[in-house]
Amino acid sequence: MKNTTKKKRNCNPNLVRARHCYSFAEIAEVYHRHTRTVQTWRREGLQVIDDASKPYLVMGAEIRRFLRQRRQKSRRPLKAGEFFCSKCRCPRKSLPDKLSVEITNKRLGKTHKQAFIRGACEACGQSLLLFSSDRKVKGLLEKTDCFYRNIGRL
Where along the sequence are the contacts to Zn ion (CB under 5 A)?
A: 85, 87-88, 92, 121, 123-124, 126
**CB of residue 83 vs Zn ion: minimum separation in angstroms?**
9
Alpha-carbon span 93 to 50, nearest angstrom = 45
**CB of residue 143 vs Zn ion: minimum separation in angstroms?**
22
- The string of DSSP codes covering 5-65 is T-TTPPP-GGGS-TT-EEEHHHHHHHTT--HHHHHHHHHTTPPPS-TTSSS-EEEHHHHHH
For residue 46, what are the contacts with CB-CB under 8 A and spacing of at least 6? 38, 58, 62, 63, 66
**CB of residue 9 vs Zn ion: minimum separation in angstroms?**
12
**Would you say 88 or 101 has its CB closer to Zn ion?**
88
**CB of residue 54 vs Zn ion: minimum separation in angstroms?**
41
**Would you say 61 or 123 has its CB closer to Zn ion?**
123
**Would you say 84 or 113 has its CB closer to Zn ion?**
84
Alpha-carbon span 47 to 54, nearest angstrom = 14
**Would you say 118 or 135 has its CB closer to Zn ion?**
118
